């Protein structure tokens, strides 16, 4: 059974965010991981990102093998088995989790995407 589901990715994503009480204590300003996604920028709690790295790596491993060579954000809606596992909203969550945990990296730097035709991130498993 696949671990790569929209619900599982969302659960890990929420766990990695700062909790309301942490934000009220301004903890997010002291030590955080800030990652820009396709449509949003997210601030993660570093310790919880570290604790969830193996789960994120498992999700990434369930993507098609081409992720090791470079894969468009748009193609990441499909799993290795060809299953349509999520819509792009959840793919963005997986993308930023991958970048935060350093299990994904940009194949093409975001600053260079402005000149490309698709302007969508191309990511590679690390």
Please write the tens of the pLDDT for every residue from 19-60. 999 999 998 888 899 999 999 999 999 999 999 999 999 999
Could you state, in order of their start, the residue ranges of all structural domains in the chain?
6-125
Q: Name the token pair of 88.
A: 């792009």
pTM here?
0.92
Residue 1 above 60 pLDDT?
A: no
Residue 104 above 60 pLDDT?
A: yes
Q: What is the mean pLDDT of the chain?
A: 92
What pLDDT score was predicted for residue 108? 78
């Amino acid at each position: 059974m696949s671990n790569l589901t929209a619900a599982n990715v969302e659960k890990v994503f929420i766990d990695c965010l700062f909790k309301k009480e942490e934000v009220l204590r301004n903890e997010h300003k002291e030590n955080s991981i800030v990652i820009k996604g396709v449509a949003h920028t997210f601030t993660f709690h570093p310790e919880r990102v570290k604790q969830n790295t193996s789960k994120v790596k498992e999700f990434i491993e369930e993507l098609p093998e081409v992720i090791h060579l470079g894969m468009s954000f748009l193609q990441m809606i499909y799993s290795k088995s060809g299953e349509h596992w999520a819509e792009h909203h959840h793919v963005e969550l997986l993308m930023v989790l991958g970048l935060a945990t350093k299990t994904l990296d940009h194949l093409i730097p975001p600053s260079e995407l402005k000149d490309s035709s698709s302007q969508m991130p191309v990511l590679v498993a690390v």
